[in-house]
Amino acid sequence: MTSPPLTSPVGRFAPSPTGALHTGSLATAVGSWLLARRAGGRWLVRMDDLDTPRQVAGMADDIRRTLEEFGLWWDREITRQSDNQEAYRDAFERLLGLGLVYPCGCSRREIAQAASAPHPDDDTLPYPATCRGGMRGGAVVRSWRVRAADGEICFDDLRRGRVCQVLALRCGDFVVRRGDGGFAYQLAVVLDDHLSGVTQVVRGDDLLASTPRQIYLQQLLGLPRPRYCHLPLVSGPGGAKLSKRDNLVSHHLGNWKGREGALLLALLRFLGQEPPGGLAGAACGEILQWGVDNFEVGRIPALGGELKP
């Protein structure tokens, strides 16, 4: 399966309305916006709202208004994952009909006891295929898993280069639907991007390890593969991962009101770009236009770190 050309890409930013944006998520928004605009493409926004219990009232609107304040305008009406449930069900039924998914009665604790230690980059527990031949008597369906491929899944990341992974070894048969009927992120994001015509997925390094799973599902469902670019992560003090409470960037809180341009310049430098000193004090639109004219993927650093405004 060939990847689409980079001409006129359709990029996207897909935050979860579980809290305000932080500087790490804003770095992803800026990077994805600039990579799409640099190639003359479009940029979409989707609210990844499948995790209903963790959603915070008003956060979707806060995220939208925060993007506006930084000049990150989108090209179509904002969409929501929750509007795509029928597409998820149809895809799941197709996989089920092909014999590619099966019910699993294993708890996370049981998998942890049977499998090797979690991988440190995404906390994945490799599944030992306990239920592949059928669940034990009396077990309750806790999830539905897709049969993982034995061969390598490879893709060319715009920043990281060639990335290969053997799903059977890395994660094993992975979850596409929960026992309560809800759909897992891996299946949902594949359908979300396809339905919106997304051809360029720019996101953080924390999602790099899950990309082969999504490519595998694209292959099984006969869907085109987007181009991927995984960006370095903004960290907290001492290299700690940012949480939803750290370095917040919020329209509601107003903690960057009047200093949006300074933060944009810091984010450009974090992404390895070299905006001229003459842009200090410039409006967001002028700074972003410089980025559209000058942003280069090859300058993005290999490692992330703390953001220094």
Give the model's confidence band at 242: pLDDT under 50 very low, under 70 low, under 90 confident, else very high: confident
pLDDT at res. 116: 53
Burial classification of residue 53, based on how many CB atoms lie within 10 Å of its CB (0-12 exposed, 13-18 middle, 19 or more buried)? exposed
Give the model's confidence band at 246: pLDDT under 50 very low, under 70 low, under 90 confident, else very high: low
- Quick one: average pLDDT of 44-69? 91
Q: How far apart are CA 231 and CA 308, in angstroms?
A: 17
| Beta carbons within 10 angstroms of residue 2's beta carbon | 6
β-strand 21-22 against 248-249: which pairing, if any? antiparallel
pLDDT at res. 123: 61
Q: What is the fold, at CATH topology level, of the domain defined by 86-185?
A: Glutamyl-tRNA Synthetase; domain 3 (3.90.800)
Q: How far apart are CA 23 and CA 21, in angstroms?
A: 7
Instruction: Return the structure tokens found at 38.
Output: 């640099």
Task: Provide the CA 19 distance to its chain's centre, in angstroms.
Answer: 16
pLDDT at res. 46: 98
- Quick one: average pLDDT of 221-244? 88
Residue with tokens 């015509």: 197
Q: Between residues 105 and 121, which one has the greater pLDDT? A: 105
Give the model's confidence band at 308: pLDDT under 50 very low, under 70 low, under 90 confident, else very high: confident
pLDDT digits (tens, 9 = 90+) for 193-228: 999 999 999 999 999 999 999 999 999 999 999 999
φ/ψ (deg, to 5) at 18: -100, 5
What is the chain's mean pLDDT, rounded?
91
Q: Which of 72-81, 190-199, 218-227, 235-244 has the lowest mean pLDDT?
A: 235-244
pLDDT digits (tens, 9 = 90+) for 114-134: 755 455 455 678 899 899 999
Q: How far apart are CA 255 and CA 244, in angstroms?
A: 15
Residue 45's nearest CA partner among 61, 57, 56, 58 is 61
One-letter amino acid for residue 88 of the chain:
Y
Q: How far apart are CA 282 and CA 140, in angstroms?
A: 59
Contact 226, 4 (CB under 8 A): yes
Contact 78, 72 (CB under 8 A): no
Contacting residues for 231 by C-beta, under 8 A, at least 6 apart = 27, 28, 31, 159, 202, 203, 204, 205, 271, 300, 304
Where exactly are the structural domains of the chain?
Answer: 10-82+191-306, 86-185
Position 250 pLDDT exceeds 90? no
pLDDT at res. 120: 46
pLDDT digits (tens, 9 = 90+) for 139-156: 899 999 999 999 999 999
Convert the chain into a string of H (helix), E (strand) and C (coil): CCCCCCCCCEEEECCCCCCCEEHHHHHHHHHHHHHHHHCCCEEEEEECCCCHHHCCCCHHHHHHHHHHHCCCCCCCCCEEHHHHHHHHHHHHHHHHHCCCEEEECCCHHHHHHHCCCCCCCCCCCCCCCCCCCCCCCCCCCCEEEECCCCCEEEEEECCCEEEEEEHHHHCCCEEEEECCCCECHHHHHHHHHHHHCCCEEEEEHHHHHHHHHHHHHHHHHCCCCCEEEEECCEECHHHCECCCCCCEECCCCCCCCCCHHHHHHHHHHHCCCCCCHHHCCCCHHHHHHHHHHHCCHHHCCCCCEECCC
Q: What is the fold, at CATH topology level, of the domain defined by 10-82+191-306?
A: Rossmann fold (3.40.50)
